Amino acid sequence: MSTGRLFVVVGPSGVGKDSLMREAVRLRPDLHLVRRVITRPEAAGGEDFEGVSEPEFAARLSHGDFVLHWRAHGLSYGVPKAVRAVLDAGQDAVLNGSRAVLRETQEAFPNLVVIHVTAQPRVLAERLAARGRESADDIARRLKRAAMPLPEGLNKVVEIDNSGDFASGVQALLDALRPLGAKPGDIRYEPQDA
């Protein structure tokens, strides 16, 4: 039985999940950041991920390399099964997940904690436009999908509104990711010097 907890950070594209997670892991080096495998070039930016071709992804899937996998936005996503060894060793891990596979994720990881990051539609639209990866039509589709509710029956869900300033969002995520026995605010966000 795993003693580590898997924190799955979910929310619509543009909500700031990757930026929040990077800062949280910087302040909590004891957290393992799960590096997803995605059929997108690594040069596309955003999160730290392993970019592979569709044929390579399919081959790895057929070899059982992923504990979870899904398709979204025309891409394939996989979570390497090595995350189980991290959790079995008692280390907490954080994963940029998908709302569409949360039931499957909870079945695979009973100690799952879902962190649902949201933001106001205007904020999402601005962030999506600023990153420059999607067309106006793609942004409209992503905004429509942003309202997708979480499935019912999840064991533990923490809601974070990331519409405001970055520091508040990071602190909310740190509080959600806090080690067992710690209280909210025990780990304080300290911005890196520019």
Mark the binding-site residues for ATP, compressed into ranges: 11-18
SS (H, E, C) 109-161: CCCCEEEEEECCHHHHHHHHHHHCCCCHHHHHHHHHHCCCCCCCCCCCEEEEE
Residues placed in the known binding site: 11-18
Give the integer Cα–Cα distance in Å for 121 and 179. 32
Tokens at residue 57, please? 């992804």
Are the CB atoms for 4 and 93 separated by under 8 Å?
yes
CA 193 to chain centre: 25
Alpha carbons 194 and 189: distance in angstroms, whole number: 15
Q: Please, what's the largest Cα pairwise distance for the chain? A: 46
